[in-house]
Amino acid sequence: MTTDRRTVLADAAIHVLAEEGMRGLTHRAVDRAADLPPGTTSAYFRTRQALLTALVRRLVALDQAELQAAGEQVRVPRAAAELTDGLAGFVEQRLTGEGRQRSLARYACAVESVRHPELREILVPRQNAAREAVRAFLHAQGVADAEGRTLTLLACVDGLVFDRLVGGGGAVSRDEIAGLVAAALRDSGGEAGAAAG
């Protein structure tokens, strides 16, 4: 557990945003969530925009660390079934526990970034080991535009997470993920392997 005050406040802000929405994200609410004296948050982040920016930076840092670790652990998948399993685990993580809170906060920030371009710049997708593992797998399967298909596949996975969070549809099935992987492999020569996964 971190003791850095700015990090503690940013983590508390993520919790508040996930639980209370954008309108509930106030300095006082963050003070309460962090169990710190009133005025602490405003002492570190003078404006609401400064608080929101710190929250977004923390979200990105947590996401990047998680994706980097996942990619380093799994390496490049050898088969479509292996990629499907990895993506299914990622989706489950995004829909449960702390991952669910961060997902809710992330989507709220994404909507807010439409009005605040400086947040959009922070939220832009970044290179990490997990993304590279997907790209390398698609490239190895003969996908012509492996980078483009990677972005599309991951956007579709993200869309499933969003759908379940806002639609209350429960878990994402492995078959749904397998279908996305098969679509990413279509016309590459690796489609048969995806169907078998």
Q: Residues 71, 137: contact at Cβ < 8 Å?
A: no
* Element at 27 (helix H, strand E): helix 27-34
> How far from the centroid of its chain's Cα atoms is residue 185's Cα?
23
Q: Residues 74, 130: contact at Cβ < 8 Å?
A: yes
**CATH number for 157:** 1.10.357
Range of the domain at 110: 58-196
What pTM was estimated for this model as a whole?
Answer: 0.85
The residue among 153, 88, 134, 45 whose CA lies nearest residue 30 is 45
Please give the pLDDT value at position 192.
42
- What is the number of structural domains in the chain? 1
For 103-139, the three-class secondary structure string (H helix, E strand, C coil) is HHHHHHHHHHCCCCHHHHHHHCCCCCHHHHHHHHHHH
Residue 8 maps to a domain: no
Q: For residue 21, what are the CA distances in angstroms to 28, 109, 190?
A: 14, 10, 42
Residue 171 maps to a domain: yes
Distance, in Å, from the CA atom of 19 to the CA atom of 23, rounded to the nearest integer, reads 11
Question: In tens digits, what is the pLDDT along the chain, a chain of 197 residues?
Answer: 557 999 999 999 999 999 999 999 999 999 999 999 999 999 999 999 999 999 999 999 998 888 888 777 767 788 999 999 999 999 999 999 999 999 999 999 999 999 888 888 788 877 888 889 999 999 999 999 999 999 999 999 999 999 999 987 788 999 999 999 999 999 765 544 444 44
